[in-house]
Structure 1
Protein backbone atom coordinates (compact mmCIF):
# COMPACT_ATOMS: atom_id res chain seq x y z
CA UNK A 1 0.00 0.00 0.00
CA UNK A 2 1.73 3.13 -1.23
CA UNK A 3 -0.34 5.60 0.80
CA UNK A 4 0.67 6.38 4.36
CA UNK A 5 -1.73 4.64 6.74
CA UNK A 6 -2.75 6.70 9.76
CA UNK A 7 -4.31 4.82 12.67
CA UNK A 8 -4.73 7.04 15.75
CA UNK A 9 -5.76 5.58 19.11
CA UNK A 10 -8.46 6.83 21.46
CA UNK A 11 -5.80 7.54 24.08
CA UNK A 12 -4.09 9.93 21.64
CA UNK A 13 -7.38 11.68 20.88
CA UNK A 14 -8.28 12.18 24.52
CA UNK A 15 -4.78 13.47 25.24
CA UNK A 16 -5.43 16.18 22.64
CA UNK A 17 -8.85 16.90 24.14
CA UNK A 18 -10.70 15.68 21.00
CA UNK A 19 -13.36 13.09 20.14
CA UNK A 20 -13.31 11.17 16.81
CA UNK A 21 -16.35 10.78 14.53
CA UNK A 22 -16.22 7.00 14.86
CA UNK A 23 -14.43 4.28 16.76
CA UNK A 24 -13.16 1.56 14.42
CA UNK A 25 -13.60 -1.75 16.28
CA UNK A 26 -10.93 -3.95 14.69
CA UNK A 27 -11.89 -7.30 16.25
CA UNK A 28 -9.72 -10.31 17.03
CA UNK A 29 -9.46 -11.61 13.46
CA UNK A 30 -8.68 -8.18 12.07
CA UNK A 31 -5.98 -7.72 14.69
CA UNK A 32 -4.22 -11.09 14.67
CA UNK A 33 -5.09 -13.15 11.58
CA UNK A 34 -2.68 -12.39 8.73
CA UNK A 35 -5.38 -12.59 6.04
CA UNK A 36 -7.91 -10.52 8.01
CA UNK A 37 -5.27 -7.84 8.68
CA UNK A 38 -5.42 -7.06 4.94
CA UNK A 39 -9.15 -6.30 5.33
CA UNK A 40 -8.37 -4.01 8.28
CA UNK A 41 -5.74 -2.17 6.24
CA UNK A 42 -8.10 -1.83 3.27
CA UNK A 43 -10.80 -0.27 5.45
CA UNK A 44 -8.28 2.10 7.07
CA UNK A 45 -7.18 3.11 3.57
CA UNK A 46 -10.82 3.99 2.80
CA UNK A 47 -11.17 5.99 6.03
CA UNK A 48 -7.96 7.88 5.29
CA UNK A 49 -9.03 8.60 1.70
CA UNK A 50 -12.39 9.96 2.90
CA UNK A 51 -10.65 12.06 5.60
CA UNK A 52 -12.68 10.40 8.36
CA UNK A 53 -11.79 11.40 11.89
CA UNK A 54 -11.50 7.92 13.44
CA UNK A 55 -9.65 6.11 16.20
CA UNK A 56 -9.05 2.56 17.43
CA UNK A 57 -8.70 1.31 21.00
CA UNK A 58 -5.40 -0.39 20.21
CA UNK A 59 -4.15 -2.47 23.14
CA UNK A 60 -7.26 -1.46 25.13
CA UNK A 61 -9.52 -3.45 22.77
CA UNK A 62 -10.29 -6.97 23.95
CA UNK A 63 -12.30 -9.81 22.40
CA UNK A 64 -16.03 -9.02 22.49
CA UNK A 65 -16.75 -12.36 24.17
CA UNK A 66 -18.90 -13.50 21.25
CA UNK A 67 -17.08 -16.80 20.74
CA UNK A 68 -17.29 -17.64 24.46
CA UNK A 69 -21.03 -16.95 24.43
CA UNK A 70 -21.67 -19.10 21.33
CA UNK A 71 -19.60 -21.91 22.88
CA UNK A 72 -21.79 -21.77 26.01
CA UNK A 73 -19.51 -19.91 28.42
CA UNK A 74 -21.80 -17.06 29.49
CA UNK A 75 -19.59 -16.19 32.47
CA UNK A 76 -16.53 -15.57 30.28
CA UNK A 77 -18.67 -13.59 27.81
CA UNK A 78 -19.92 -11.26 30.53
CA UNK A 79 -16.39 -10.78 31.88
CA UNK A 80 -15.12 -9.82 28.42
CA UNK A 81 -18.13 -7.63 27.68
CA UNK A 82 -18.00 -5.72 30.96
CA UNK A 83 -14.29 -5.05 30.48
CA UNK A 84 -14.92 -3.62 27.01
CA UNK A 85 -17.97 -1.62 28.09
CA UNK A 86 -15.97 -0.04 30.91
CA UNK A 87 -13.35 1.16 28.39
CA UNK A 88 -15.92 2.31 25.80
CA UNK A 89 -17.97 4.23 28.35
CA UNK A 90 -14.88 5.84 29.87
CA UNK A 91 -14.07 7.26 26.42
CA UNK A 92 -17.74 8.25 25.93
CA UNK A 93 -17.89 6.34 22.66
CA UNK A 94 -21.08 6.97 20.69
CA UNK A 95 -20.57 5.40 17.25
CA UNK A 96 -18.73 2.18 16.38
CA UNK A 97 -17.89 0.78 12.93
CA UNK A 98 -16.55 -2.75 12.47
CA UNK A 99 -15.65 -5.13 9.62
CA UNK A 100 -16.65 -8.12 11.77
CA UNK A 101 -20.38 -9.07 11.82
CA UNK A 102 -19.82 -11.12 14.99
CA UNK A 103 -18.54 -8.03 16.83
CA UNK A 104 -21.26 -5.96 15.15
CA UNK A 105 -24.05 -8.24 16.39
CA UNK A 106 -22.55 -8.71 19.85
CA UNK A 107 -21.93 -5.03 20.64
CA UNK A 108 -25.17 -3.89 18.97
CA UNK A 109 -27.55 -6.43 20.47
CA UNK A 110 -25.93 -7.97 23.56
CA UNK A 111 -23.95 -5.15 25.16
CA UNK A 112 -26.96 -2.86 25.87
CA UNK A 113 -28.31 -5.16 28.62
CA UNK A 114 -24.90 -4.88 30.33
CA UNK A 115 -24.76 -1.10 30.11
CA UNK A 116 -23.13 -0.60 26.72
CA UNK A 117 -25.38 1.43 24.41
CA UNK A 118 -23.80 2.51 21.12
CA UNK A 119 -24.69 3.23 17.51
CA UNK A 120 -23.04 0.22 15.82
CA UNK A 121 -22.80 -0.17 12.05
CA UNK A 122 -21.09 -2.56 9.64
CA UNK A 123 -18.28 -1.27 7.44
CA UNK A 124 -20.34 -1.82 4.27
CA UNK A 125 -23.04 0.48 5.66
CA UNK A 126 -20.44 3.10 6.48
CA UNK A 127 -18.80 2.87 3.03
CA UNK A 128 -22.18 3.59 1.42
CA UNK A 129 -22.67 6.51 3.79
CA UNK A 130 -19.31 7.98 2.78
CA UNK A 131 -20.16 7.65 -0.92
CA UNK A 132 -23.66 9.09 -0.54
CA UNK A 133 -22.38 12.13 1.38
CA UNK A 134 -19.72 12.76 -1.26
CA UNK A 135 -16.78 12.07 1.04
CA UNK A 136 -15.61 9.05 -0.93
CA UNK A 137 -15.35 8.83 -4.72
CA UNK A 138 -15.01 5.46 -6.41
CA UNK A 139 -13.55 5.28 -9.91
CA UNK A 140 -15.19 1.93 -10.55
CA UNK A 141 -13.11 0.66 -13.45
CA UNK A 142 -10.85 -1.90 -11.73
CA UNK A 143 -13.49 -4.66 -11.69
CA UNK A 144 -15.55 -3.74 -14.73
CA UNK A 145 -16.42 -6.92 -16.63
CA UNK A 146 -15.77 -9.13 -13.58
CA UNK A 147 -18.44 -11.39 -12.11
CA UNK A 148 -18.83 -11.05 -8.32
CA UNK A 149 -21.07 -13.11 -6.07
CA UNK A 150 -21.67 -12.02 -2.49
CA UNK A 151 -21.85 -14.43 0.45
CA UNK A 152 -24.18 -13.12 3.20
CA UNK A 153 -22.60 -13.42 6.69
CA UNK A 154 -25.14 -14.92 9.11
CA UNK A 155 -24.74 -12.24 11.78
CA UNK A 156 -25.07 -9.46 9.23
CA UNK A 157 -27.92 -10.91 7.19
CA UNK A 158 -30.35 -13.15 9.03
CA UNK A 159 -29.46 -11.85 12.50
CA UNK A 160 -29.65 -8.13 11.65
CA UNK A 161 -31.38 -7.94 8.24
CA UNK A 162 -28.50 -6.06 6.60
CA UNK A 163 -28.68 -7.33 3.03
CA UNK A 164 -28.60 -4.27 0.77
CA UNK A 165 -25.57 -2.36 2.12
CA UNK A 166 -22.87 -4.79 0.92
CA UNK A 167 -24.57 -5.18 -2.46
CA UNK A 168 -24.91 -1.42 -2.93
CA UNK A 169 -21.20 -1.05 -2.15
CA UNK A 170 -20.29 -3.80 -4.63
CA UNK A 171 -22.37 -2.18 -7.40
CA UNK A 172 -20.12 0.87 -7.10
CA UNK A 173 -17.22 -1.22 -8.46
CA UNK A 174 -19.11 -1.58 -11.79
CA UNK A 175 -18.68 -5.35 -11.64
CA UNK A 176 -21.55 -7.68 -12.55
CA UNK A 177 -23.21 -8.86 -9.33
CA UNK A 178 -24.52 -12.44 -9.60
CA UNK A 179 -26.58 -14.02 -6.82
CA UNK A 180 -26.23 -17.56 -5.51
CA UNK A 181 -29.38 -19.70 -5.46
CA UNK A 182 -29.30 -19.40 -1.65
CA UNK A 183 -28.85 -15.73 -0.79
CA UNK A 184 -30.08 -13.04 1.60
CA UNK A 185 -32.52 -14.65 4.09
CA UNK A 186 -32.02 -18.14 2.60
CA UNK A 187 -28.20 -17.93 2.50
CA UNK A 188 -26.25 -20.90 3.79
CA UNK A 189 -23.76 -20.38 6.65
CA UNK A 190 -20.07 -20.49 5.72
CA UNK A 191 -19.53 -22.99 8.54
CA UNK A 192 -17.68 -20.71 10.97
CA UNK A 193 -20.61 -19.51 13.12
CA UNK A 194 -21.34 -20.61 16.67
CA UNK A 195 -17.61 -20.98 17.46
CA UNK A 196 -17.33 -23.70 14.78
CA UNK A 197 -14.45 -21.71 13.23
CA UNK A 198 -12.12 -23.06 15.89
CA UNK A 199 -12.83 -26.78 15.64
CA UNK A 200 -13.14 -29.58 13.13
CA UNK A 201 -16.61 -30.89 12.11
CA UNK A 202 -18.07 -33.72 14.19
CA UNK A 203 -17.68 -37.19 12.72
CA UNK A 204 -20.30 -37.72 10.03
CA UNK A 205 -20.89 -33.99 9.48
CA UNK A 206 -20.10 -32.51 6.09
CA UNK A 207 -17.85 -29.50 5.66
CA UNK A 208 -20.38 -26.66 5.39
CA UNK A 209 -17.82 -24.36 3.81
CA UNK A 210 -17.34 -26.78 0.89
CA UNK A 211 -21.10 -26.85 0.35
CA UNK A 212 -21.30 -23.05 0.44
CA UNK A 213 -18.32 -22.71 -1.89
CA UNK A 214 -20.14 -24.96 -4.35
CA UNK A 215 -23.11 -22.55 -4.21
CA UNK A 216 -20.75 -19.71 -5.10
CA UNK A 217 -18.96 -21.58 -7.91
CA UNK A 218 -22.28 -22.34 -9.61
CA UNK A 219 -22.55 -18.61 -10.40
CA UNK A 220 -19.25 -18.85 -12.34
CA UNK A 221 -17.67 -15.92 -10.48
CA UNK A 222 -14.29 -14.28 -10.84
CA UNK A 223 -14.57 -13.07 -7.26
CA UNK A 224 -16.43 -14.27 -4.15
CA UNK A 225 -17.06 -11.20 -2.00
CA UNK A 226 -17.49 -11.43 1.76
CA UNK A 227 -18.24 -8.99 4.55
CA UNK A 228 -16.73 -11.00 7.41
CA UNK A 229 -13.17 -12.17 8.14
CA UNK A 230 -14.38 -15.60 9.25
CA UNK A 231 -16.45 -16.09 6.09
CA UNK A 232 -13.37 -15.05 4.13
CA UNK A 233 -11.31 -17.81 5.73
CA UNK A 234 -13.95 -20.48 5.20
CA UNK A 235 -14.63 -19.55 1.57
CA UNK A 236 -10.89 -19.35 0.83
CA UNK A 237 -10.46 -22.85 2.28
CA UNK A 238 -13.39 -23.98 0.13
CA UNK A 239 -11.78 -22.58 -3.02
CA UNK A 240 -8.55 -24.42 -2.17
CA UNK A 241 -10.48 -27.66 -1.61
CA UNK A 242 -12.17 -27.22 -5.00
CA UNK A 243 -8.79 -26.39 -6.60
CA UNK A 244 -10.11 -23.13 -8.05
CA UNK A 245 -7.43 -20.82 -6.63
CA UNK A 246 -6.16 -19.90 -10.11
CA UNK A 247 -9.54 -18.70 -11.38
CA UNK A 248 -11.51 -17.46 -8.32
CA UNK A 249 -10.45 -14.91 -5.70
CA UNK A 250 -12.05 -14.30 -2.28
CA UNK A 251 -12.07 -10.63 -1.25
CA UNK A 252 -13.79 -8.54 1.39
CA UNK A 253 -16.04 -5.68 0.24
CA UNK A 254 -13.56 -3.22 1.82
CA UNK A 255 -10.73 -4.64 -0.29
CA UNK A 256 -12.79 -4.34 -3.48
CA UNK A 257 -13.68 -0.73 -2.69
CA UNK A 258 -10.11 0.16 -1.64
CA UNK A 259 -8.79 -1.29 -4.90
CA UNK A 260 -11.33 0.79 -6.82
Structure 2
Protein backbone atom coordinates (compact mmCIF):
# COMPACT_ATOMS: atom_id res chain seq x y z
CA UNK A 1 0.00 0.00 0.00
CA UNK A 2 1.20 3.51 -0.78
CA UNK A 3 2.41 5.59 2.14
CA UNK A 4 0.63 8.61 0.68
CA UNK A 5 -2.40 9.57 2.75
CA UNK A 6 -5.58 10.71 1.06
CA UNK A 7 -7.40 13.38 3.08
CA UNK A 8 -10.21 15.65 1.85
CA UNK A 9 -11.63 18.69 3.63
CA UNK A 10 -15.33 19.47 3.95
CA UNK A 11 -14.79 22.55 1.79
CA UNK A 12 -13.52 20.30 -1.02
CA UNK A 13 -16.51 17.97 -0.65
CA UNK A 14 -18.95 20.88 -0.75
CA UNK A 15 -17.24 22.30 -3.83
CA UNK A 16 -18.02 19.00 -5.56
CA UNK A 17 -21.58 18.96 -4.23
CA UNK A 18 -21.01 15.77 -2.20
CA UNK A 19 -21.37 14.62 1.41
CA UNK A 20 -18.82 12.28 3.05
CA UNK A 21 -19.75 9.02 4.80
CA UNK A 22 -18.21 10.38 7.99
CA UNK A 23 -16.50 13.46 9.34
CA UNK A 24 -13.21 12.55 11.03
CA UNK A 25 -12.87 14.83 14.06
CA UNK A 26 -9.11 14.97 14.55
CA UNK A 27 -9.07 16.75 17.91
CA UNK A 28 -6.47 19.02 19.47
CA UNK A 29 -4.02 16.26 20.44
CA UNK A 30 -4.32 14.53 17.09
CA UNK A 31 -3.68 17.83 15.31
CA UNK A 32 -0.83 19.32 17.33
CA UNK A 33 0.87 16.72 19.55
CA UNK A 34 3.69 14.97 17.68
CA UNK A 35 2.98 11.59 19.28
CA UNK A 36 -0.78 11.81 18.73
CA UNK A 37 -0.27 12.81 15.08
CA UNK A 38 0.99 9.25 14.51
CA UNK A 39 -2.38 7.94 15.76
CA UNK A 40 -4.18 10.30 13.38
CA UNK A 41 -2.10 9.10 10.44
CA UNK A 42 -2.63 5.45 11.39
CA UNK A 43 -6.40 5.92 11.44
CA UNK A 44 -6.32 7.71 8.08
CA UNK A 45 -4.38 4.74 6.63
CA UNK A 46 -7.18 2.46 7.87
CA UNK A 47 -9.86 4.70 6.35
CA UNK A 48 -7.96 4.80 3.05
CA UNK A 49 -7.52 1.01 3.05
CA UNK A 50 -11.26 0.52 3.64
CA UNK A 51 -12.09 3.07 0.91
CA UNK A 52 -14.08 5.22 3.32
CA UNK A 53 -15.29 8.49 1.83
CA UNK A 54 -14.37 10.75 4.75
CA UNK A 55 -13.67 14.42 5.33
CA UNK A 56 -11.96 16.59 7.92
CA UNK A 57 -12.70 20.18 8.84
CA UNK A 58 -9.05 21.18 8.62
CA UNK A 59 -8.48 24.76 9.76
CA UNK A 60 -12.21 25.07 10.52
CA UNK A 61 -11.96 22.55 13.38
CA UNK A 62 -11.52 24.11 16.83
CA UNK A 63 -11.18 22.64 20.33
CA UNK A 64 -14.42 21.01 21.47
CA UNK A 65 -14.24 22.97 24.72
CA UNK A 66 -13.95 19.79 26.80
CA UNK A 67 -10.87 20.92 28.72
CA UNK A 68 -12.43 24.30 29.55
CA UNK A 69 -15.56 22.56 30.86
CA UNK A 70 -13.59 20.08 33.00
CA UNK A 71 -11.52 22.95 34.40
CA UNK A 72 -14.73 24.74 35.42
CA UNK A 73 -14.96 27.42 32.71
CA UNK A 74 -18.48 26.77 31.42
CA UNK A 75 -18.61 30.12 29.62
CA UNK A 76 -15.52 29.32 27.53
CA UNK A 77 -16.83 25.81 26.85
CA UNK A 78 -20.10 27.14 25.46
CA UNK A 79 -18.30 29.71 23.32
CA UNK A 80 -16.07 27.01 21.79
CA UNK A 81 -18.92 24.53 21.41
CA UNK A 82 -21.26 27.01 19.71
CA UNK A 83 -18.54 27.97 17.26
CA UNK A 84 -18.06 24.31 16.29
CA UNK A 85 -21.79 23.59 16.14
CA UNK A 86 -22.27 26.51 13.74
CA UNK A 87 -19.66 25.00 11.41
CA UNK A 88 -20.93 21.41 11.73
CA UNK A 89 -24.56 22.38 11.16
CA UNK A 90 -23.66 24.56 8.19
CA UNK A 91 -22.13 21.48 6.56
CA UNK A 92 -25.14 19.35 7.61
CA UNK A 93 -22.83 16.85 9.31
CA UNK A 94 -24.63 13.68 10.41
CA UNK A 95 -21.91 11.27 11.58
CA UNK A 96 -18.63 12.02 13.36
CA UNK A 97 -15.77 9.62 14.16
CA UNK A 98 -12.95 10.58 16.51
CA UNK A 99 -9.88 8.92 18.07
CA UNK A 100 -10.28 11.05 21.22
CA UNK A 101 -12.71 9.79 23.90
CA UNK A 102 -12.82 13.29 25.42
CA UNK A 103 -14.07 14.72 22.12
CA UNK A 104 -16.30 11.65 21.69
CA UNK A 105 -17.99 12.22 25.05
CA UNK A 106 -18.28 15.98 24.59
CA UNK A 107 -19.69 15.85 21.05
CA UNK A 108 -22.02 12.95 21.85
CA UNK A 109 -23.40 13.97 25.24
CA UNK A 110 -22.90 17.71 25.69
CA UNK A 111 -23.31 19.27 22.25
CA UNK A 112 -26.99 18.19 21.87
CA UNK A 113 -28.00 20.61 24.65
CA UNK A 114 -26.55 23.43 22.55
CA UNK A 115 -28.11 22.38 19.25
CA UNK A 116 -25.46 20.01 17.96
CA UNK A 117 -27.07 16.61 17.35
CA UNK A 118 -24.82 14.08 15.64
CA UNK A 119 -24.18 10.35 15.51
CA UNK A 120 -20.78 10.25 17.26
CA UNK A 121 -18.61 7.13 17.11
CA UNK A 122 -15.24 6.28 18.64
CA UNK A 123 -12.61 5.07 16.19
CA UNK A 124 -12.45 1.61 17.78
CA UNK A 125 -16.20 1.25 17.22
CA UNK A 126 -15.82 2.36 13.62
CA UNK A 127 -12.90 0.00 12.95
CA UNK A 128 -15.05 -2.82 14.32
CA UNK A 129 -17.87 -1.74 11.95
CA UNK A 130 -15.50 -1.81 8.98
CA UNK A 131 -14.27 -5.30 9.89
CA UNK A 132 -17.79 -6.65 10.44
CA UNK A 133 -18.94 -5.17 7.13
CA UNK A 134 -16.07 -6.86 5.29
CA UNK A 135 -14.53 -3.53 4.27
CA UNK A 136 -11.38 -4.11 6.33
CA UNK A 137 -9.60 -7.44 6.67
CA UNK A 138 -6.95 -8.10 9.30
CA UNK A 139 -5.10 -11.31 8.47
CA UNK A 140 -1.49 -10.52 9.27
CA UNK A 141 0.57 -12.24 11.93
CA UNK A 142 2.59 -9.18 12.97
CA UNK A 143 1.31 -9.45 16.53
CA UNK A 144 0.92 -13.22 16.78
CA UNK A 145 2.48 -14.41 20.02
CA UNK A 146 2.54 -10.88 21.48
CA UNK A 147 0.91 -10.12 24.80
CA UNK A 148 -1.35 -7.05 24.66
CA UNK A 149 -3.21 -5.47 27.57
CA UNK A 150 -5.83 -2.80 26.94
CA UNK A 151 -6.27 0.28 29.14
CA UNK A 152 -9.90 1.48 29.18
CA UNK A 153 -10.10 5.29 28.73
CA UNK A 154 -12.50 6.80 31.28
CA UNK A 155 -14.61 8.70 28.76
CA UNK A 156 -14.89 5.66 26.52
CA UNK A 157 -15.47 3.05 29.21
CA UNK A 158 -17.18 4.17 32.39
CA UNK A 159 -18.70 7.33 30.89
CA UNK A 160 -20.10 5.71 27.73
CA UNK A 161 -19.99 1.96 28.43
CA UNK A 162 -17.89 1.16 25.34
CA UNK A 163 -15.91 -1.87 26.47
CA UNK A 164 -16.27 -4.55 23.82
CA UNK A 165 -15.37 -2.78 20.56
CA UNK A 166 -11.69 -2.17 21.43
CA UNK A 167 -11.30 -5.77 22.59
CA UNK A 168 -13.12 -7.15 19.55
CA UNK A 169 -10.72 -5.27 17.26
CA UNK A 170 -7.63 -6.37 19.20
CA UNK A 171 -8.75 -9.99 19.02
CA UNK A 172 -8.43 -9.78 15.22
CA UNK A 173 -4.64 -9.37 15.55
CA UNK A 174 -3.98 -12.96 16.72
CA UNK A 175 -2.25 -11.56 19.80
CA UNK A 176 -2.93 -12.77 23.34
CA UNK A 177 -5.16 -10.19 25.01
CA UNK A 178 -4.46 -10.15 28.75
CA UNK A 179 -6.75 -8.18 31.06
CA UNK A 180 -5.48 -6.11 33.98
CA UNK A 181 -7.02 -6.83 37.37
CA UNK A 182 -8.73 -3.43 37.16
CA UNK A 183 -10.44 -3.31 33.79
CA UNK A 184 -13.71 -2.28 32.12
CA UNK A 185 -15.96 -0.69 34.79
CA UNK A 186 -13.28 -1.02 37.49
CA UNK A 187 -10.43 0.40 35.38
CA UNK A 188 -8.24 3.06 36.97
CA UNK A 189 -7.91 6.47 35.30
CA UNK A 190 -4.59 7.16 33.55
CA UNK A 191 -4.40 10.47 35.42
CA UNK A 192 -5.14 12.83 32.50
CA UNK A 193 -8.88 13.32 33.08
CA UNK A 194 -10.52 16.45 34.40
CA UNK A 195 -7.94 18.66 32.65
CA UNK A 196 -5.20 17.11 34.84
CA UNK A 197 -3.30 16.31 31.63
CA UNK A 198 -2.06 19.89 31.51
CA UNK A 199 -0.70 20.26 35.05
CA UNK A 200 1.47 18.52 37.59
CA UNK A 201 -0.18 16.67 40.52
CA UNK A 202 -0.78 18.76 43.65
CA UNK A 203 1.70 18.25 46.45
CA UNK A 204 0.89 15.06 48.29
CA UNK A 205 -0.99 13.50 45.37
CA UNK A 206 0.34 10.27 43.93
CA UNK A 207 1.20 9.92 40.25
CA UNK A 208 -1.89 8.08 39.02
CA UNK A 209 -0.28 7.28 35.68
CA UNK A 210 2.60 5.46 37.40
CA UNK A 211 0.11 3.44 39.43
CA UNK A 212 -1.98 2.61 36.37
CA UNK A 213 1.10 1.61 34.40
CA UNK A 214 2.01 -0.74 37.24
CA UNK A 215 -1.40 -2.42 36.75
CA UNK A 216 -0.51 -2.92 33.09
CA UNK A 217 3.02 -4.18 33.74
CA UNK A 218 1.69 -6.84 36.09
CA UNK A 219 0.21 -8.57 33.01
CA UNK A 220 3.74 -8.91 31.58
CA UNK A 221 2.76 -7.27 28.27
CA UNK A 222 4.72 -6.58 25.11
CA UNK A 223 2.26 -3.80 24.26
CA UNK A 224 -0.07 -1.59 26.30
CA UNK A 225 -2.92 -0.73 23.94
CA UNK A 226 -4.86 2.51 24.34
CA UNK A 227 -7.78 4.19 22.62
CA UNK A 228 -7.02 7.77 23.65
CA UNK A 229 -4.12 10.12 22.85
CA UNK A 230 -4.03 11.42 26.43
CA UNK A 231 -3.96 7.91 27.90
CA UNK A 232 -1.15 7.16 25.45
CA UNK A 233 0.93 10.04 26.79
CA UNK A 234 0.29 9.20 30.44
CA UNK A 235 1.03 5.49 30.02
CA UNK A 236 4.18 6.27 28.02
CA UNK A 237 5.36 8.50 30.87
CA UNK A 238 4.48 5.68 33.25
CA UNK A 239 6.63 3.25 31.27
CA UNK A 240 9.54 5.70 31.56
CA UNK A 241 8.98 6.01 35.32
CA UNK A 242 9.18 2.21 35.61
CA UNK A 243 12.24 2.19 33.30
CA UNK A 244 10.62 -0.27 30.88
CA UNK A 245 10.98 1.72 27.63
CA UNK A 246 13.07 -1.00 26.01
CA UNK A 247 10.66 -3.78 26.89
CA UNK A 248 7.10 -2.46 26.53
CA UNK A 249 5.48 -0.33 23.81
CA UNK A 250 2.42 1.88 24.19
CA UNK A 251 0.31 1.88 21.02
CA UNK A 252 -3.12 3.12 20.03
CA UNK A 253 -5.43 0.46 18.61
CA UNK A 254 -5.40 2.30 15.27
CA UNK A 255 -1.60 2.00 15.19
CA UNK A 256 -1.79 -1.71 15.98
CA UNK A 257 -4.28 -2.36 13.17
CA UNK A 258 -2.42 -0.13 10.71
CA UNK A 259 0.80 -2.01 11.54
CA UNK A 260 -0.68 -5.37 10.53
CA UNK A 261 0.66 -7.00 7.40
CA UNK A 262 -2.49 -6.13 5.47
CA UNK A 263 -2.03 -2.37 5.96
Indicate the residue corresponding to 2:187 in structure 1: 187
Following TM superposition, by how much is the alpha carbon of 1:139 offset from its aligned partner in structure 2, in angstroms? 1.7
Indicate the residue corresponding to 2:243 in structure 1: 243
User: What do residues 112-142 of structure 1 show as CA deviations (whole Å, max 9, x unaligned)?
Assistant: 0000000000000000100111100112310
> Aligned ranges for residues 59-208 of structure 1 at < 5 Å?
59-208=59-208
Instruction: Check whether the contact 1:141–1:174 (CA below 8 A) recurs between aligned residues.
Output: yes
Instruction: Check whether the contact 1:140–1:172 (CA below 8 A) recurs between aligned residues.
Output: no
Instruction: Check whether the contact 1:127–1:169 (CA below 8 A) recurs between aligned residues.
Output: yes
For 1:140 and 1:96, locate their aligned partners in 2 and report how far apart those are by CA, in whole Å.
Answer: 29
Indicate the residue corresponding to 1:26 in structure 2: 26
Q: Which stretches in structure 2 are left out of the alignment for 5+ residues?
A: none
Q: Which stretches in structure 1 are left out of the alignment for 5+ residues?
A: none
Q: Is 1:56 the counterpart of 2:63 in the alignment?
A: no
Following TM superposition, by how much is the alpha carbon of 1:3 offset from its aligned partner in structure 2, in angstroms? 2.1
Indicate the residue corresponding to 2:210 in structure 1: 210
Following TM superposition, by how much is the alpha carbon of 1:2 offset from its aligned partner in structure 2, in angstroms? 4.5
Following TM superposition, by how much is the alpha carbon of 1:4 offset from its aligned partner in structure 2, in angstroms? 1.4
Secondary structure in structure 2 of the residue aligned to 1:97: strand
Following TM superposition, by how much is the alpha carbon of 1:173 offset from its aligned partner in structure 2, in angstroms? 0.6
For 2:169 and 2:60, locate their aligned partners in 1 and report how far apart those are by CA, in whole Å.
Answer: 31
Indicate the residue corresponding to 1:234 in structure 2: 234
Secondary structure in structure 2 of the residue aligned to 1:172: helix
For 1:68 and 1:178, locate their aligned partners in 2 and report how far apart those are by CA, in whole Å.
Answer: 35
User: What do residues 209-234 of structure 1 show as CA deviations (whole Å, max 9, x unaligned)?
Assistant: 00000000000000000000000000
For 1:3 and 1:33, locate their aligned partners in 2 and report how far apart those are by CA, in whole Å.
Answer: 21
